[in-house]
Amino acid sequence: MSHLQSLRGMVDLLPDQTRLWQAVEAEARAHFLRSGVEEIRTPLLEVTDLFARGIGEATDVVGKEMYSFLDRGNRSCTLRPEGTASVVRAAVQHGLLGQGAQRFWYSGPMFRYERPQAGRQRQFHQIGVEFLGVSTPRSDVEVITLAWDLLCALGVSGLQLQINSLGTLEDRLRYRQQLVDWLEVRKSQLDADSQQRLTTNPLRVLDSKNSTTQALLADAPTLLDALGEESSLRFQSVQGLLNQLAIPFQLNTRLVRGLDYYGHTAFEITSDQLGAQATVCGGGRYNGLVQQLGGPPTPAVGWALGMERLMLVLEAAASADADGVASSLMSVKAPDLYLVNRGEQAEAFALGLARQLRAAGVSVELDGSSAAFGKQFKRADRCGAAWAVVIGNDEVDSGQLRLKPLRVKGEDRLVEIDAPSQIVDVLRNRI
């Protein structure tokens, strides 16, 4: 019988990897808590129409990449391919927008049927932020700052912020016509995907990864040139606030983002930690999405970062600087204490002692092998525990346990078997 395997693009996170993910998520959770951003959790499965209306039927995500199926009620359902539409749907459904501006963050798996590669899987994970009911340039910059400061706190270096303005719908329609006119003359020089996008979603041509198309676009008209006065002044305000906060940025007139609901500020944050510039976070303003999904006219701005790509960046950062923040984040936290135990009475007692010490806040690894003491001590050394307690039947009979330092200076200590608080005191350097 053949061994069962995970589906292509669906990757297991083993304990060593999970520890790093938890460390990143804990840092993000603390970062958002300090910033007054509240967590929201939405279902993995939504009605397909949510994404068709929200993301746009002409996008690759909706047209080619979604995991959609009919359920037993003959309803078309989709595993969420991104988080923003679900957050907006939840805010509308539960009447949260009538309670003033909402500041949310979320994390979890998303699903897109695309070619798996390093840092991009078919089940992938995001941490995202959505501010609903805020319209000012300052709110754009606050959202960007949240992402920038989180990445810095995680130890990501070589950061670069790229920004663009997509303007208003009127600005984009005006620019769309200018771009289509310019590209139609050069249609034969475009790659096949861009030729198709020219009729369905021409702004996405700017996002082409084809090198020939990118070279051609160097001379194309830009969105910035098509902005109306109001949009232009707004974008200047965003740039001024970024300068005030000393967050360096570059204008990228080809930055359009991949989803239809964006307008005005669009941005990506990249890192050169992997050698070339790799995008780790992207987002922007999407003022029309809430109304598009059945809510009242509501300005909004947000971003998402990909966890898989971020992990690659953090691993590179840790390798580059063994004493850096990323390296510290990735280091495995060793238990405070390793319980070496052997013998029927000793093993029964060790189980209860481990429970008591854990309740007192001590991290304890209990050896369950019943192997010889020498082998157990080798495991204790490998796990990096600072101390070990030796428990055999003789120790249970004598009423005393031996506490041995493994990673700290000092002599063996004898503690009373019925006084586990003495072990806690030794570990906490109180005696």
Higher pLDDT, 260 or 79: 79
What residue spans in the chain does CATH classification 3.40.50.800 cover? 337-427
- Above 70 in pLDDT, residue 221? yes
- Above 70 in pLDDT, residue 430? no
- The dihedral sign for the CA sequence 46, 48, 51, 54: negative
pLDDT value of position 188 = 85
Angle between helical axes of 15-34 and 137-153 (0-180°, round to 10): 140
pLDDT class of 303 with cuts at 50, 70, 90? very high
For 337-427, the fitting CATH number among 3.40.50.800, 1.10.645.10, 3.40.50.1100, 3.40.720.10 is 3.40.50.800
Q: How far apart are the C-alpha atoms of 379 and 185, rounded to whole Å?
A: 70
Q: How far apart are the C-alpha atoms of 171 and 285, rounded to whole Å?
A: 15
C-beta separation of 159 from 45 below 8 A: no
- Above 90 in pLDDT, residue 195? no
Contacts of 91 (CB under 8 A, 6+ apart): 97, 102, 104, 132, 290, 295
pLDDT value of position 376 = 96
pLDDT class of 243 with cuts at 50, 70, 90? very high
- pLDDT > 70: what percent of the chain? 98
Residue pLDDT, tens place only, 361-399: 999 999 999 999 999 999 999 999 999 999 999 999 999
For the segment 239-255, the average pLDDT, to the nearest whole number, is 95
pLDDT value of position 159 = 94
- The dihedral sign for the CA sequence 141, 146, 151, 155: positive
pLDDT class of 58 with cuts at 50, 70, 90? low
- Above 80 in pLDDT, residue 247? yes
**Region 15-167+227-328: CATH code:** 3.30.930.10
Residue 162 C-beta-side C-alpha neighbours within 13 Å: 17
- Mean pLDDT score across all residues of the chain: 92
pLDDT value of position 259 = 59
pLDDT value of position 205 = 85
Residue pLDDT, tens place only, 95-127: 999 999 999 999 999 999 999 988 889 999 999
- pLDDT > 90: what percent of the chain? 70
pLDDT value of position 333 = 84
What residue spans in the chain does CATH classification 3.30.930.10 cover? 15-167+227-328
pLDDT value of position 16 = 87
